Amino acid sequence: MHTVTDQMGRQVSMPVKPLRIVSLVPSQTELLYDLGLSDRVVGITKFCIHPADWFRSKTRVGGTKNVNFDVIEKLQPDLIIGNKEENTRKDIEQLMQQYPVWMSDIKTLDEAKAMITAIGNITQTDAIAADIITQIDSGIAHGCDPLNQKSRHCT
């Protein structure tokens, strides 16, 4: 076990290499996919529709604001990833009583990149996370708005 600090400033004790991850946030589910963690993500929300193959194959743990605690208990996660704005405080506090819960709190692009770096570190996929950030920075440098994929030079 080791301790990491989440984006809300909380200390979270978790395995050095989490092997049973539940994502409570669609955008972070997509990040976990991009980090190549298919074999380690065991649960996602009903709103995690991308990637489509995960939506069809992963266990759904309810919604972002109405978590199914019984399903999560059956999955026995060693890490749950949530978000301050997406998930309810009540649900997160209940989950924290049994599981390591790492929370993101993102309001800026720099905080989004810090989240990518942190999750890469937590899951031991640092190099892939760094590459994702490089792609984001390169896209911005070439006129791509990361919030609008239809802007020029975005692919």
The CATH number given to whatever domain includes residue 96 is: 3.40.50.1980
pLDDT above 90 (res 45) = yes
Residue 128 falls inside a structural domain? no
pLDDT above 90 (res 139) = no
Cβ neighbours around 3 below 10 Å, total = 9
Cα separation, 3 vs 16, whole angstroms: 9
Domain housing 18? 2-106
Q: Are 92 and 72 in contact (CB under 8 A)?
A: no
**Residue partners of 3: CB distance under 8 A and separation at least 6:** 11, 12, 13, 14
Mean pLDDT value across residues 49-74: 94
pTM: 0.90
Cα separation, 25 vs 40, whole angstroms: 16
Number of domains in the chain: 1
More confident residue, 153 or 57: 57
Residue 116 falls inside a structural domain? no
Residue 37 falls inside a structural domain? yes
